[in-house]
Structure 1
Amino acid sequence: MTETELLLSLIDDKLRKCEDGYMLTHTHFLSLGERSSAMAHLKNRYPNHVFWGGYPDAERSVLFLLPEYMEKDDFSLEDEDDPLCLVRVRASSAKLTHRDYLGALLGLGLERSVIGDILVGEHGAEIIVMKSISDYLIANFEKAGSASLKITVDSIKNLEPPKIKTEFIRESVASLRLDNMLSAVFGVSRSDAVEAISRGMVFLNDTEATKPDARIAEGDKLVLRGRGKAYFREQSGTTRKGRLSVLFEKYI
């Protein structure tokens, strides 16, 4: 079985447990690609589900399958039922990067699937993880790179979502095709945009994009792995050369 097939089989097992046991079930952390596969798999068979990674717009998220008595709009968990927790890290060096923290965690023998977003700050980081590994981290997560670490474990509810910084970018495009829009907002060539789509590196509204000629609408969310995230905000008229004037809001 492929990794995607294994994931979908796991989701089916969780879904059966949810329906048969009339209980909330969940997966491990999913990447953007895994989330896209899960969304497509559940779209018509079980709409009563949510993705949550500890804060709005988290890149890595857990799939929660809700029993019939739970509404998506009312989804919330008490601390004792929440499978996620927050690890606060204080580092002796302020130069640690996302890669440093992730490398240290994987170096402890942990799977990527138990680690969510890593939010790097000036003096350390806040790391969202599965609660099941919190005791192990307390005992073993002592260094990242050459820096010593001090960690505490907190409720995920005490996480302050990162402040989002964006910039508005106005560009002109020949059309609202996906490859044109990626090229404009992320500064890549159109051929590179097409290649990124073919390699599964592009996500449109959290779903993996497969067609370079897909038409983009106002409000759509674009993600290019390794380049960032942006929203298409508006199309306002045409230039003298007949190109479309478009406005993006890009995360920085």
Structure 2
Amino acid sequence: MDTIEISIYSGIPQFSDFLDPYEIRLAESVANGEMVYSETSQLLNENFERNIIGFSTETKNLDLGNHLKCFKIESKFSDLQHNKILGSILGLGLERRKIGDISIHGKIAYILVKSEIADFIYFHLKKIGREGVRLEEVPIQNFESEKPQWEIQSSTVKTMRLDSIVSTITKLPRSKAKKMIEQNLIKVNFEPIMTPHMEIGGCLLSIRGYGRFKIFEEFHETKKGRIHFTYGKKK
């Protein structure tokens, strides 16, 4: 909201930090309501989870590419891990919203960052965990998206209510699953959901403390009248 308001009152294009798909939808809706032009970076296609969005009252030619940088991170000895890369960057005192997608390929990883922190990361990120790494700035087109791998499982539920699905996946009592939802610990397709009885279908489900899951769209009813569904936990 602040970014949109600044673009309105200053007449100067403004640019967001990295947003997830749900936040992008909200930002576009607000901008449309304020009669402000909005545009996401075309360099980041549907394979990217996070994107930035620009706002302007004067022009429709926003050069969002100037606000993004891509680094290739290379480790000599150990395979890189998403949580260690992110932890090492945040350990430098940077905010998560300044960091975009991270893609791991063994000893090589790619990371997107806002241009404003690129030099800081280049000069200060020397280690991931305890291991030294080498950074190289590369064109965003060199970013190799990581193909998600899912540990496939299946189960049956009486209903596809969110609390029932969360209970089944986490192996928690339904009452605790319901409490997690009400405490805003669950996201469906990146959107925070606090309604335990909401019926869901195929979707991406994030459960804080348990990870990310994909609910596949293939459902069928068993002879006992329950619903058989398949889901995967992101490795």
TM tier, smaller: 0.7 to 0.9
> Which of these residues, 126, 135, 149, is aligned with residue 110 of structure 2?
126
Match of 2:84 among 88, 100, 106: 100
The question of 1:223 aligning with 2:225 is answered no
- Once the 2 structures are TM-superposed, how far is the Cα of residue 132 of structure 1 from its aligned partner? 1.5
Task: Decide whether aligned partners of structure 1 residues 183 and 60 sit closer, same or farther in structure 2, where only a CA change above 3 A counts.
Answer: farther
Alpha-carbon offset, residue 77 of structure 1? 5.2
2:190 matched to 1:200? no
How far does residue 182 in structure 1 lie from its aligned partner after superposition? Answer: 2.2
Give unpaired runs (5+ residues) of structure 2: none
Alpha-carbon distance change, 61 to 41 in structure 1, aligned in 2, over 3 angstroms: closer
SS in 2 for 1:46: helix
Question: Which digits, 9 at most, give the CA deviation of each residue in 1:88-143, with x for residues without a partner?
Answer: 11113315433332232223232222122332331132121111222222222212
How far does the alpha carbon of each residue in 1:153-209 deviate from its partner, in whole angstroms, 9 at most, with x for none?
A: 122222121123235543211112111122334544423322321232211232110
TM-score normalized by structure 1? 0.73
Unaligned runs of 5+ in 1: 1-11
3-state SS of paired residue (2:52): strand
Question: What letter corresponds to residue 147 of structure 1 in structure 2?
Answer: E
Match of 1:15 among 4, 8, 18: 4
Q: Normalized against structure 2, the TM-score is what?
A: 0.78
Deviation of 1:23 after TM superposition, in Å, equals 6.4
Q: Which whole-Å CA distance do the structure 1 matches of 2:58 and 2:230 have between them? A: 41
| Alignment partners' CA distance in 1, 2:125 and 2:103 | 16
Q: Which of 15, 20, 45 is 1:26 aligned to?
A: 15
Whether the 8 Å CA contact 2:184–2:193 is kept in 1: the answer is yes
After superposition, the CA RMSD in angstroms is 3.4
Q: Percent identity?
A: 24
1:242 lines up with 2:225 in the alignment = yes
Secondary structure of 2:206 counterpart: strand
Number of the residue aligned with 2:75:
91
The total of aligned residue pairs comes to 230
| Map 1:33-48 → 2, pairs under 5 A | 36=22, 39-40=25-26, 43=29, 46=32
Which of 86, 92, 116 is 2:100 aligned to?
Answer: 116
